[in-house]
Amino acid sequence: GVTEAVISPGSRSTPLAMAIAAHPKFRFWMHIDERSAAFFALGMAKAKQRPIVLVCTSGTAAANYWPAIVEAHYSRVPLVVLTADRPHELRDVGAPQAIDQLHLYGRYAKWFVDLALPEETDAMIGYARTMAARAAAMAASAPAGPVHVNAPFREPLVPEIDDGVWESVRSVSKAPQVLSGRSMLAGDSAAMVYEQLAAAERGLIVCGPLDQPGFAEAVTELARALDFPILADPLSQLRAGSHDKTYVIDSYDAILRQEAAASRLVPDVVLRFGAMPVSKPLFLWLKQHRTIRQIVVDDGGFRDPTLAASCFVHSDAAAFCRQLLGLAEPKPRAGAWSTVWREINALARTVLRERLPSDEWFEGKVFAELAELLPPGAALFVGNSMPIRDADTFFWTNDKPIRLLANRGANGIDGVVSSALGASVVTDPLVLVIGDLSFYHDVNGLLAAAMHRLSATIILLNNNGGGIFSFLPQARYEGAFETLFGTPTGLSFHHAVHLYGGRYAQPHTWEEFRRHVSAALHSGGLNVVEVRTSRAENVRMHRQLWDEVSQEIAKFLEQRGTESI
Ligand SMILES: Cc1ncc(C[n+]2csc(CCOP(=O)(O)OP(=O)(O)O)c2C)c(N)n1
Ligand SMILES: C=C(O[C@H]1C=C[C@H](C(=O)CCC(=O)O)[C@@H](C(=O)O)[C@@H]1O)C(=O)O
Ligand SMILES: [Mg+2]
């Protein structure tokens, strides 16, 4: 089932590149810069949810894959990394373009193999096929991630390809796991977890970054059965779509910044699916209240930075929801708990939406605008730093099926352009919202759009530096701040956009913004819409909105009286 590859040019990788080019079922994309190539493959694999092959030659070409492999490891994206290498006799003897590629990516690769040199015998061809199937299966198996296959070749490197070789390869499948009676693992997880959920008076479901078809329907049905509100991260795929959003809370980041609300809305139990959400107020709240019983459902590992989870369930998220639903007895709850969450959420969202500036530029407003502008079926790729946090606060629930993607494994500002362009191969139209330093960091990733005629609309939020640092304590150190943290570049990005054959626009009003984005969505190709903002103004407007939300919530709680919620 692996049929796509991203290949970077090299000589030692000739056998791999020519075999893939000749293979009747493979599609491949050439990418000259291996760092961008790896992020491009990452974005494609993230969107396809299937392993993508990377091919490069030996030397620092292979080393350039590193950042994307780290991101793939932490965001659980399947990659099969094929690095060509010198044969053993040319290793560590001063031969050209020979670096130590053994376990090059360390523990960031789920599996590593240094292949035997090729031999044209049935046994060795069988070995190669088994290694290929094993690599694909290891990359795809939960938790998914990158695998590294190091492939030494001797000269001559040009292969003689006989079309007869394309016979079916090995297959790998997985049967449902049945726990033995002697298993170290707890018994029937669903029954054990359901018992805790049913006993709770104040339950919450927290959905972190997850991208699993069917999960939104399953978890919202579970929320209704349990009468538990769902705190939905923008990357949980619960913010947009046709599923029931009655219980979906989308403004919890702003709500939990309000002390009175945060202290009165503490749950008894939290059932969390996937990684921790982006919201730092949510993370600090869960970490602070150690009485909350936290149950983490994940497809493996122990992702709990609060260090307070009492129970880990390794399972497919949607399947576990269905198991819990199978146990759920209709137990109508008074509804006060979920009602107050929904009322406060509606209040917070209304204040945020209504108090958005109508004329001034404000970075958060881009997400409120995109929720209206994006057509059903679009993908929204969100850059790290402020864009992902603004998506959390200002991309509210809506009924259009819009898929939200980001590189939240290691939260890097590198490779974001390339990852978005890789995803654009899978989902069209695709819009990327990215900051100026992140855009600068991977501007040469735009070559992929020119080389492969890709379509993507890039909304470049240019506040001339690292806007997020203005929200942090470092901002108080006037002297060093701009030099060490703001790092303004003063770059005019339209030159770069034109270098890669893109269309560039810089709107001066929100009406022009809407017109340029709509035109880009219809025209296809590479379009960059640059919005120039001020970091200082951005901080002021965020804080003003947070204050206004807090004041309105305080009034709401006062009206409700002091009774505990
Ligand atoms: C590869 C990498 N280098 C540095 C950082 C630290 N970092 C996080 S956000 C940020 C600034 C991002 O600036 P920009 O892309 O303009 O977004 P803004 O903060 O302005 O929204 C930096 C340097 C990082 N996360 N990843
Ligand atoms: C720039 C880096 O990332 C840090 C940026 C902001 C985070 C933060 O504290 C945001 C506060 C908020 O959302 O209210 C910070 C964090 O998550 O602790 C990130 O580390 C960096 O280089 O780390
Ligand atoms: Mg910036």
How do residues 199-222 score in pLDDT, each as one tens digit? 999 999 999 999 999 999 999 999
Tokens of 20: 């893939």
Q: Whose CA is nearest to atom 17 of ligand 2?
A: 280
Q: Whose CA is nearest to atom 12 of ligand 2?
A: 280
389 Cα nearest atom in ligand 2: 13
78-102 pLDDT tens trace: 999 999 999 999 999 999 999 999 9
436 Cα nearest atom in ligand 1: 16
* pLDDT value for 465: 98
Q: Which amino acid is at 139?
A: A
Q: Which of 29-33, 66-70, 476-480 has the lowest mean pLDDT?
A: 476-480
387 Cα nearest atom in ligand 1: 21
Cα-based torsion angle of the residue sequence 344, 348, 350, 355 in order, rounded to the nearest 10 degrees: 160
d(CA 194, CA 319): 14
Beta bridge partners of 293: 269
Instruction: Please report, rounded to a whole number, the percentage of residues in the chain having pLDDT higher than 70.
Output: 97
Q: How far is the CA of 384 from the centre of ligand 3 (A)?
A: 10
Quick check: pTM over 0.95?
yes
Q: How far is the CA of 415 from the centre of ligand 1 (A)?
A: 12
Q: What is the DSSP letter of 11?
A: S
347-362 pLDDT tens trace: 999 999 999 999 999 9
Residues 6 or more apart from 107 whose CB is under 8 A from it? 73
Q: Whose CA is nearest to atom 16 of ligand 2?
A: 280
Please check whether residue 418 is in contact with residue 449, taking contact to mean a CB–CB distance below 8 angstroms.
Answer: no
Q: In this structure, is the dihedral angle defined by the CA atoms of residues 343, 347, 348 and 352, taken in order, positive or negative?
A: positive
**What are the backbone dihedrals phi and psi of residue 531, each rounded to the nearest 5 degrees, phi first?**
-110, 115
Tokens of 5: 């590859």
Residues 6 or more apart from 355 whose CB is under 8 A from it? 544, 545, 548
**Nearest 5 degrees, angle CA 373-CA 374-CA 378?**
175
The pLDDT of 319-344, averaged and rounded, is 88
* pLDDT value for 184: 64
Q: Is the pLDDT of residue 562 over 60?
A: no
The pLDDT of 382-410, averaged and rounded, is 98
Instruction: Locate all alpha helices (DSSP H) within 312-446, ordered by sequence.
Output: 317-327, 336-354, 365-373, 386-394, 416-424, 436-441
Could you report how far apart the first and last alpha carbons of the chain are, in Å?
51
d(CA 45, CA 37): 12
d(CA 490, CA 465): 8
* pLDDT value for 168: 65
Q: Which amino acid is at 202?
A: R
**CA 237 distance to own-chain centroid:** 11
Q: Which amino acid is at 76?
A: R
Q: For 206-244, give the DSSP string.
A: EE-S---TTHHHHHHHHHHHHT--EEE-GGGT-SBSSS-
In which band, very low, low, confident or very high, does the pLDDT at 478 lie, cut at 50, 70 and 90? confident
* Crossing angle for the helix pair 66-75 and 34-48, to the nearest 10 degrees: 20
414 Cα nearest atom in ligand 1: 1
Cα-based torsion angle of the residue sequence 411, 415, 417, 418 in order, rounded to the nearest 10 degrees: -130
d(CA 464, CA 445): 20
414 in contact with ligand 1, CB cutoff 6 A: yes
d(CA 553, CA 322): 35
